[in-house]
Amino acid sequence: MNIAVYTLTSTLHDSKAVVSLTQEFLSSLSIPYVLKNDDYSDYGTHDLDLIYVRTGGTEGLFKQLLPQLLAKSKKSFRLLASNKSNSLPAAMEILSFLRQQGLQGEILHGSPEYITTRIQQLSGVEEGRILHNCRLGIIGEPSDWLISSGVEHDAVKNRLGAELVDIPMRALLDTLDTIPEQPAPEASDVPQIHAALPGAYRIYLALKSLTEKHHLNGLTLRCFDLLDAVHNTGCWALAKLNSEGLVAGCEGDVPTMLTMMLLRTLIGNSSFQANPASINPETGEILFAHCTVPFDMVRNYELDTHYESGIGVGIRGHVPEGPVTVCKVSGDLSRAFVAEGELVRNQAEPDLCRTQLLVRLTDPSNAEYFLTNPIGNHHVIAIGHHAAALKNLLQRCSINPVLCPTD
């Protein structure tokens, strides 16, 4: 990511003090950047251009600069503001002026951690190419029951920049045959699960081999075929791959894989593919469940069998309670559901997929979407509230973000 930082500085402030404060402020942010100071000659040529309002008294200077900046770029203005030298008040006056001109902008202000996270989010939004040069594997075909989840390879390439790579299930099974039996990196006190772990680990190693062979950034697996072929499941393997930074979805669900990939591009973290198991339209509470929660999303987990088959290794993870975002992109890339909510509690009902998250949507009316106009069955859950940033990202892909069913 190519980030440039430009500066606005009043001549009334001591230049040495300003330079010292600049170094202190920018060094607190965990981002790579090039400091341009007041040289705006190449403004608009970077993946992300930030204007650091270093001091107060710079509002008039920005007003003079604005025509030059607009001639170079039509992107939203991103204003960095510290908590010193009247930086924030000046940034607020500038942003208010921009709004009066019908222009878009945002002030990046707060703790270093918050600003860094926001810049990382914006990096994905401003990049424009979104999934440029990503290679996403479809291992086996989509599961037969995903009758509304088809995609067009060319549309994904043209709209998102990602290449979908079809890999036969036979390729995975042949790779499995080349991997010798070996101990798994963890154990279980349950004999059935303990016996299945080495096989689950071999599935992980085989998938890892395919990702390296085909240079994949993500994949989705027609996992139910493994039940008969090797009498095991891919749940443990997918959970581990996600926790290592490679997007890994199940059931060959391509739209869900794309949703997970967009989320990882935006927030840099894993997300959880799950089914709504029950919905309360009155309270906006939805119970999501699946067996493949990424290990890096949970505070702890237990190993169990795969729910439907009762064999293999599934994951019962306990995700920290708190803010979450629920989303799903449609296969034709025409629309996406996005809603924020709170993870109320983790459950462990015996007749559902192993990881079970009870989510209460911020707007209970959004629950109607699942019953009136859903985008397939699987949806994706990310930790944190990301609706605004995700909406911006989707709009750059010409995907209509549906925040409520009546939109």
Between CA 308 and CA 224 the distance in angstroms is 10
- Tens-place pLDDT, residues 171-195: 999 999 999 989 999 999 999 999 9
Looking at the structure of the chain, the number of domains it has is 2
pLDDT at 33 over 80: yes
Looking at residue 403, what is its pLDDT? 60
In a domain, 165, yes or no: yes
Looking at residue 64, what is its pLDDT? 96
What angle, 0 to 180 degrees and rounded to 10, lies between the N-to-C axes of helices 387-396 and 112-126?
A: 20
Cα–Cα distances (Å) from 127 to 61, 293, 327, 397, in that order, read 28, 29, 21, 11
Same domain as 108, residue 183: no
Between CA 120 and CA 252 the distance in angstroms is 29
Q: What is the average per-residue pLDDT within 290-318?
A: 94
Same domain as 258, residue 140: yes
Give this prediction's pTM: 0.72
Same domain as 395, residue 300: yes
Q: Name the least confident of 44-53, 236-245, 335-344.
A: 44-53
Cβ neighbors of 298 (< 8 A, separation 6 or more) are 315, 317, 318, 319, 355
Average confidence score pLDDT of the chain: 92
Split at pLDDT 50, 70, 90, the class of 68 is very high
In a domain, 364, yes or no: yes
Looking at residue 131, what is its pLDDT? 84
Same domain as 387, residue 272: yes
Handedness of CA 186, 300, 260, 44 (dihedral sign): negative
Same domain as 369, residue 250: yes
With beta carbons less than 8 A apart as the criterion, state whether 371 and 289 touch: no
With beta carbons less than 8 A apart as the criterion, state whether 84 and 28 touch: no
Between CA 392 and CA 127 the distance in angstroms is 12
In a domain, 26, yes or no: yes
Query: Using CA atoms in the order 4, 9, 15, 19, what is the torsion angle rounded to 10 degrees?
Result: -30
pLDDT at 389 over 60: yes
Same domain as 265, residue 309: yes
Nearest to 343 by CA among 318, 360, 367, 326: 360
Last residue of a domain, one of 92, 126, 160: 126
Same domain as 335, residue 216: yes
Same domain as 173, residue 54: no
pLDDT at 119 over 90: no
Structure tokens at 270: 């894993």
Split at pLDDT 50, 70, 90, the class of 49 is very high
Split at pLDDT 50, 70, 90, the class of 368 is very high
Cα–Cα distances (Å) from 322 to 44, 78, 276, in that order, read 37, 28, 18
Cβ neighbors of 85 (< 8 A, separation 6 or more) are 13, 18, 21, 54, 55, 56
Nearest to 214 by CA among 151, 134, 157: 134
Split at pLDDT 50, 70, 90, the class of 270 is very high
pLDDT at 41 over 80: yes
Same domain as 152, residue 118: no
- Tens-place pLDDT, residues 293-303: 999 999 999 99
Cβ neighbors of 366 (< 8 A, separation 6 or more) are 284, 339, 403, 404, 405
Between CA 8 and CA 90 the distance in angstroms is 10
Q: Name the least confident of 28-32, 55-59, 63-67.
A: 28-32
Structure tokens at 397: 């892909």
In a domain, 298, yes or no: yes
In a domain, 184, yes or no: yes
Last residue of a domain, one of 75, 99, 126: 126
Same domain as 220, residue 116: no
As a residue count, the chain comes to 407
In a domain, 407, yes or no: no
Same domain as 189, residue 314: yes
33 phi/psi in degrees, rounded to 5: -155, 165
Split at pLDDT 50, 70, 90, the class of 1 is low
CB crowding 214-244: b at 16 or more within 10 Å, else e: eebbbbbbbbbbbbeebebbbbbbbbbbbbe
Looking at residue 47, what is its pLDDT? 79
Between CA 96 and CA 92 the distance in angstroms is 6
Work out the number of other CB atoms within 10 angstroms of the CB of residue 201: 22
Looking at residue 325, what is its pLDDT? 96
pLDDT at 127 over 80: no
Q: Provide the pairing of β-strand 135-139 with 105-108.
A: unpaired
Looking at residue 123, what is its pLDDT? 67
Work out the number of other CB atoms within 10 angstroms of the CB of residue 127: 18
Last residue of a domain, one of 80, 100, 126: 126
Looking at residue 216, what is its pLDDT? 96
Same domain as 118, residue 220: no
Q: Which domain holds residue 23?
A: 3-126
